[in-house]
Amino acid sequence: DTICISDCGLPVPEGVQKIDLALDFGVPSFEQVVSIIAKHMKSEAVHVAKEIKENNPKAYDFLESTFPSNQYEWIETSHEAFKEATKQCKCIIRTGEASPYANIILRADCIFSDRP
């Protein structure tokens, strides 16, 4: 299963549930929402649009530190391919983020796979 955490401008495909947290531009921020989700959800892979690296290095650096590439599978595609992938998400959590390409898809991992 996958979920998407998005900025306030990402289109939500028809049929995908939207959880709209946006209260105002920047509230809550992408970083705030991703940090809380990362704390409570075990993920195995992250998917971002490759454009984030050049157009929003602050968000990219935050994601790299939150989801280190030696612990998570990283998928980087074009923004168009990213938007296409959102059609398979269980939901899109819309933040108030107003910076470009601040979007991520997280693929869930099994929460008890590390237990003996």
CATH superfamily of 2-108: RbsD-like domain (3.40.1650.10)
Q: What is the pLDDT of residue 84?
A: 98
The average pLDDT across 35-61 equals 97
19 and 37 Cβ atoms separated by less than 8 Å: no
Q: What is the pLDDT of residue 111?
A: 72
Compute the half-sphere exposure of residue 46: CA atoms within 13 Å on the CB side of its CA: 26
Q: What is the pLDDT of residue 9?
A: 96
Q: What is the pLDDT of residue 110?
A: 78
Task: Kindly report which listed range (52-56, 60-64, 66-70, 112-116) carries the lowest average pLDDT score.
Answer: 112-116
How do the domains of the chain map onto residue ranges?
A: 2-108
pTM listed for this prediction: 0.94
Confidence check: pLDDT of 115 > 60: no
Q: What is the pLDDT of residue 112?
A: 67
Starting at the earlier edge strand, list the strands of the sheet with 91-94. 17-20, 91-94, 2-6, 104-108, 43-49, 73-77
The average pLDDT across 15-30 equals 97
The average pLDDT across 52-74 equals 97
Instruction: Please state, for a pLDDT cut of 90, what percent of the chain lies above it.
Output: 93
Q: What is the pLDDT of residue 113?
A: 58
- Average model confidence (pLDDT) across the chain: 95
